[in-house]
Amino acid sequence: MAEIPCIDDLTLSGIALFLDVDGTLLEIAARPQAVSVPDDLRERLRALFLASGGAVALVSGRAITSLDALFAPLALPSAGLHGFEHRGASGAYRTRQPPSGAALQAARAAMLHFALPHAGLMVEDKQFALALHYRGAPQLEESVVTAMRRIAADVRDELELQRGKMVVELRPAGATKAEAVAAFLEEAPFAGRLPIFIGDDFTDEPAFELVNRLAGLSVVVSAARPSAARARLTDVAAVRGWLGGLQADPGAALRALSAAQAGASGCDDASPAAPPARHVRSRA
């Protein structure tokens, strides 16, 4: 494991904060449309965005249009559909090469054909990605995964299988949350800062691995599940509490995560804080 740098001297101006949404900032609901953002969370994110100079981004499996609708009127820098689409701090929007309409249409038809006879299954159309949710029928997990693997094999050049909590997705090939975080770290105001990524799902693991390589802070939202993340917050309430601490006392909040990553030994004078730029230059 790479040595975890001490971050005693870091403030909000020295970090780049990346946040998953469902299961991290918001409790997961039976239907994606059923969630809502509390006013105090929206205001806290806005305050952190301003205090950090704009280096707070959402990195989600949702489309950016869905994120904007949820957090309105707040519109943060965002990566949607697991990194397929990107909107930086400047507001510039771009996407990767989209899958063809034919591939999406074929996958959508196959997913609907499978889901319609089964109560509790829901196909979510994200325009450039498709998701089959089985939270309403968890007993069908094995059948859902088998069916989605078969569908994915027919469109594998353009769409990739992605498992999550009670959902199996077909996302644009090559799009990952690691790629999304790396793209943000190439641009202002994120470049040259210590990256912090907080997420709960298997889709967040590539981003954890990237942040670990950059000697940043990786945080899984789970009481116990195995993860590449090196620190842990137990649930959504703990994430919101930590964000409140970050707003009130950034140094204490950052030291708490750093100590969790480093273990009981924590930081000492033998491992001083590295310059933030080091975390970006170390990516090769």
DSSP string of 7-74, one letter each residue: -TT--GGGEEEEE--BTTTB---SSGGG----HHHHHHHHHHHHHTTS-EEEE-SS-HHHHHHHHTT-
Task: Name the catalytic one among 8, 9, 20, 154.
Answer: 20
Q: Where are the alpha helices (DSSP H) in 191-276?
A: 205-213, 236-248, 250-262
Q: Which of 139, 89, 97 is nearest to 118 (CA)?
A: 139
C-alpha torsion sign, points 11, 13, 18, 23 = positive
Reduced to 3 states (helix: H, G, I; strand: E, B; else coil), residue 198 is strand
Q: How many residues does the chain have?
A: 284
Percent composition of the chain: helix, strand, coil (DSSP 3-state, to 5): 40, 20, 40
Catalytic residue list contains 20: yes
Any bridge partners for residue 197, and if so which? 18, 218
Asked whether the beta carbons of 124 and 133 are under 8 A apart, the reply is yes
Reduced to 3 states (helix: H, G, I; strand: E, B; else coil), residue 149 is helix
Distance (Å, whole) CA 58 – CA 77: 6
Residues that are catalytic: 20
